[in-house]
Chain A
Amino acid sequence: MSEPAHEILHLSNVSRHFSGLKALSDVSLSVNKGEVVGLIGPNGAGKTTLVNTICGVTPASSGVVTFDGKDITRIKTYQSARMGLSRTFQIVQPFAEYSALDNVAAAALFSQPGESLKSAREAARAHLSFVGLDAQADQPAATLTLAMRKRLELAKALAMKPKLLFLDEVNAGLNSAEVERATKLIHQLAADGITIVMIEHLMKVVLNVCTRIAVLHNGRLIADGAPRDIIKDPAVVDAYLGQQYAQRNAARG
């Protein structure tokens, strides 16, 4: 609390439309160093679009995105990756024929200028062991289970030495034991000081991990604040959480 908050990401009035469809309208958001921000909202709210817009996959139609003090609104995807913005995909995107090791090595190799293939593979080993995929290092990514591929995504994202890490539904499709394991990893990353923005539907995980929650609905930011305030916010309850959740939560105190 004593340390002044250092802003790492700032969005001001960011909009993105796909011809007629307004996927994001006037989103203003800022993320401070070391925060773990949960990005929630119903399906189609624009959560993934927001991440794509920040990373340069679908640049903003209007508004300004700054990262680490630099304007990155019109930046190319590969440039944002080299600046320390990294992400995992909701739908996993492995290099299917490559081994798990080479998948992670690719991330280390291309995100750090001047990295050699050999040193990238060495770095990759450490990241694989962090996510618990040592035993699968030489297995082609296509043969891994979904839970493993999600962890592989995480290892790839970490190999890019991120300053800001986007986690896009890392827990979707995982069973409860796997979710627990993934949650532990996220805690560890946060403890290591990596700033995280996570898109997540499992409220248990969000409340467990996040220091702040931002809520998107129909492309608008409808709430942004501390988790305990957000879950009581009537607009959020209406748009996303539902009355039942609010009542259960109130009953629990």
Chain B
Amino acid sequence: MTRSHIALFGFLACVAALPLFGEAYALRLGTIACMYAVFALSWNIVGGFAGYPSFATAAFFGLGAYTTGILMNKGAPLLVSVGVSLVFCLLLAAAFGAVLLRLRGHYFAIASLSLVEVFRELVNNATDLTGGGMGLNIPLVSGSSVMSDATFFFYAMWGLLLITAITVTIVASSKLGFGLNCIRQNETAATMVGLNATLYKAIAFGLSACFVGAAGGLYAAWVHYIDPSDVFDILYSVKPIVMALMGGLGSPLGVVFGAFLYLGLEEVVWRNYIQIHSGVLGVLIILLLLFLPHGLVSLRIEKIRQALFGRKASHV
């Protein structure tokens, strides 16, 4: 286990203490932050390790949300429904991955984007099962009070984030992660040394979808109502990429930081510049990427200290 992985789990432990201090608003933000971090970590498997820029996050988020929503309406308990969402997305994404990941670069990006549209249209048209454009109501799960509900879903999402982080750090230091990194650097050479690239990419795509699907399930149960344009929102595909770029591509610690930073920016900007918030957020993101092209993880405490105090120290 590397130092950055230890730092990652330390950070997650701190996040877990949030309900001790926060009220319902803070818990809501915390839940979304954990969800974003799940997205970013998941995207990192296929985008950061294997180097395939996937825009499919929203597709599996929506699919997971609807899977859980439908199952809970049929009386299944939350945990079972979310579990089914996870497995369903894993298998479906692995199958799609084996086909889609034959495309490279821009072609793959467009193909993965089309998954979102295809799933949305399917859900829109399967009116009997999903309610179509009318959306789907999901029965309440936990206790009656607002606070206990908020705390429950915060810990559920945090738990999912923890599982995702454990999986991603295991992948990063395993044969699978090593192979995915080989694929990113030179796929031809990787197959020439005996790596089954199709299998590896399918597993990577499956892993990058399953936790997103589970997050979708938790989200559906949390907000009690979903409709296709909400959960198949293309922004869910774009945000994780921005977070990963802001945090530092490939580094699990970096992308989690990126997710929290992104949500922080989003919230601050939204509060202060309600009318032009997306414009301001866009400018901030561009500035961050211009001045920190390798993301937050490229910041070194030592360097910051040198920049702040270095010159002074040399005069003493």
Chain A interface residues toward B at CB < 8 A: 55, 57, 76-78, 81-82, 86-87, 89, 93-98, 102, 106-107, 109-112, 116-117, 156, 160
Residues of chain A with a CB closer than 8 A to B174's CB: 117
Of the candidates B174, B179, B195, the one having the most CB atoms from chain A within 10 angstroms of its own CB is: B195
Q: Please measure, in the bound complex, the distance between the C-alpha atom of A110 and the C-alpha atom of B186, giving whole angstroms.
A: 14
Known: A107-B193, A111-B194, A156-B193. A93 touches B178 (CB 8 A): no
Residues of chain B with a CB closer than 8 A to A78's CB: 191-192, 194-197
Q: Is the CB of A96 within 8 A of B193?
A: no
Q: Is the CB of A106 within 8 A of B192?
A: no
Residues of chain A with a CB closer than 8 A to B194's CB: 78, 81-82, 107, 110-112, 160
Residues of chain A with a CB closer than 8 A to B193's CB: 81, 86, 106-107, 110-111, 156, 160
Q: Is B175 an interface residue (CB 8 A)?
A: yes
Q: Please measure, in the bound complex, the distance between the C-alpha atom of A117 and the C-alpha atom of B194, giving whole angstroms.
A: 14
Minimum C-beta distance from B17 to chain A (A): 36
Q: Is the CB of B185 within 8 A of A109?
A: no
Residues of chain B with a CB closer than 8 A to A95's CB: 181-182, 185-186, 189-190
Q: Is the CB of B190 within 8 A of A55?
A: no
17 new A-B contacts, CB < 8 A, other than A77-B192, A110-B193, are A57-B192, A76-B196, A78-B192, A81-B194, A93-B189, A93-B192, A94-B186, A95-B182, A95-B185, A95-B189, A98-B185, A107-B194, A110-B179, A110-B182, A110-B190, A110-B194, A111-B194
Q: Is the CB of B175 within 8 A of A93?
A: no
How many inter-chain contacts with C-beta < 8 Å in the A-B complex?
69
Residues of chain B with a CB closer than 8 A to A93's CB: 186, 188-189, 192
Residues of chain B with a CB closer than 8 A to A82's CB: 194
Find residues 166-184 in chain B having any chain A CB closer than 8 Å to their own CB: 174-175, 178-179, 181-182
Q: Please measure, in the bound complex, the distance between the C-alpha atom of A249 and the C-alpha atom of B182, giving whole angstroms.
A: 47
Find residues 74-133 in chain B having any chain A CB closer than 8 Å to their own CB: none
> B185, B191, B195: which contacts A97 (Cβ < 8 A)?
B185
> B175, B181, B195, B196: which contacts A98 (Cβ < 8 A)?
B181
Q: Enumerate the 7 nearest inter-chain pairs by beta-carbon distance, A residue then B residue, closest first.
A: A81-B194, A111-B194, A93-B189, A110-B195, A95-B185, A107-B193, A110-B194
Q: Please, could you name 25 A-B residue pairs with CB atoms under 8 Å apart, sorted by A?
A: A55-B192, A57-B192, A76-B191, A77-B192, A78-B191, A78-B194, A78-B196, A81-B193, A81-B194, A86-B192, A87-B192, A93-B192, A94-B186, A95-B181, A95-B182, A97-B181, A97-B185, A98-B182, A102-B178, A106-B179, A106-B190, A109-B178, A110-B193, A110-B195, A160-B193
> B178, B196, B197: which contacts A106 (Cβ < 8 A)?
B178
- Closest residue on chain A to residue B197 by CB atoms: A78
Residues of chain A with a CB closer than 8 A to B190's CB: 95, 106, 110
Q: Is the CB of B192 within 8 A of A116?
A: no
Q: Please measure, in the bound complex, the distance between the C-alpha atom of A106 and the C-alpha atom of B188, giving whole angstroms.
A: 13
